[in-house]
Each structure stands twice: as structure tokens, then as C-alpha cells.
Chains A and B, each alone.
Chain A
Amino acid sequence: ETGVTQTPRHLVMGMTNKKSLKCEQHLGHNAMYWYKQSAKKPLELMFVYNFKEQTENNSVPSRFSPECPNSSHLFLHLHTLQPEDSALYLCASSQGTPRSGGIDEQYFGPGTRLTVT
């Protein structure tokens, strides 16, 4: 067990639905991330939160909306998605920067397999 849990593990939603993905880390970390993993593509960093503040938004469409209420929880709210948004969505956590300095190794959750119909 990596200490990072994600729910649900599988999600099928229509293009007009609204759903949320949840991530929880039990590692005492201060940074949390959302990645999109598609077949034959590099992991795509979507959002980064450091100490509950969003520090990175890699040109992600507004139909994806992150929320980080505290350092242990991260949500990804989904609405009016497109079929090309079908992918594995990975959450990760790390100690956090800039306080820790050096390499900020990331620990991944098992992911949510999202299918948009």
C-alpha cells in the first residue's frame, strides 16, 4: 500500500454528468498532484497543490476543476467531459517544496479509470 488512496477506482460517466474523483494521502505530505495517464503517452501533469495552494495548472480545460481542502485530501471535479478525456487519472503526493528542497519524490495512488461515453 503506497499510502495514497483514490476513489472510485472505476467510473463511467456520460458527457453531461457531473462527478468527482477523490484522493487521500496518509503520508503526512504537503503537496498533491493530479496526472492524466493515456495509452502510449507520457504522464501529463494537470494540477499541483503545495500546502493547499494551487501552484501549477498545465493548461487544463475548465471542465476539470481541482479542489484541495487540506493537505491530505484532493478532489477533481468533472463536468461536461468529452470522450477523449477517458483515461487513468492518477493522484500523487510528496513532501512539498520549497521547504524540503532537493528532490521531492512523488508517491502515486492506484488511479481512477475514467470512461466517458
Chain B
Amino acid sequence: QQQVKQSPQSLIVQKGGISIINCAYENTAFDYFPWYQQFPGKGPALLIAIRPDVSEKKEGRFTISFNKSAKQFSLHIMDSQPGDSATYFCAASPGTGNQFYFGTGTSLTVIP
């Protein structure tokens, strides 16, 4: 059973546009929601993360929006750049320990 569902599978955005990737979960024990960015030939790297006690977290052009009641969270990339082209994974964790559940990934292409 897939613990975290991610959409879309792929996304093409014009330079300067907003990229939006969505994730949903069922397990209410999840308490930590990170996003990872993976470039070709590289491993995933932590991009930004949120706890459910806040509804939004912003770091530069990257924002996580969190809806606890709907059990959904999303990544928004503002002013998308070609250098943002990568695969993005959402994940969820119970908040302690080292167990992470990953989404299936979204391949983002930003067109110049």
C-alpha cells in the first residue's frame, strides 16, 4: 500500500511560471513532511520540510503548503527556472526515528 501519493508524474512549466506538485497521505501519525530534489546522476537532496503545526513554509522561491484536515501538502516553485528541472519527491515520516515514506516522484521540466 502506497503511503504517500504524489501527482503529477511529470510537469512542464514555462520559465518564470509557478510549478505546483501535490502529495496526499492517510496515516495521521505522520508528523514531518520533507521534499527532495534529485538531478540526473545524483541522489535525492533535502530541499525543504514542514511540520503540521504550520500551514506554510517558505524558503526562497520554494514554498510548502500544508492542509492537515485534508491530509495534503504541496510544493510551489515560484519564478521557475531551467535550473529547477529535476525530479521532486515528497515524503512523510512519523516525526521520530528514521522511517521515511516517499512519493513516486515528479519530473519537472522548465522551458526557457
Interface set of A (CB-CB < 8 Å, partner B): 2, 4, 9, 31, 33, 40-43, 45, 48, 50, 90, 92, 94, 96-98, 101-111
Contacts and interface: CB of A to CB of B under 8 A. Distances in A.
Interface of B: 2-4, 9, 32, 34, 36, 41-46, 49, 89, 93, 95-105
By secondary structure, the B interface counts as loop
Given A43-B89, A43-B102, A97 B96 contact: yes
A109 B104 contact: no
B48 to A, nearest CB: 12
Contact of B44 (A94, A98, A108): A108
Given A40-B104, A42-B4, A90 B96 contact: no
A92 B102 CA distance: 14
Contacts of B104: 40-42
Shortest 8 CB-CB distances between A and B: which pairs?
A108-B43, A104-B98, A43-B102, A42-B102, A108-B44, A110-B43, A109-B43, A97-B97
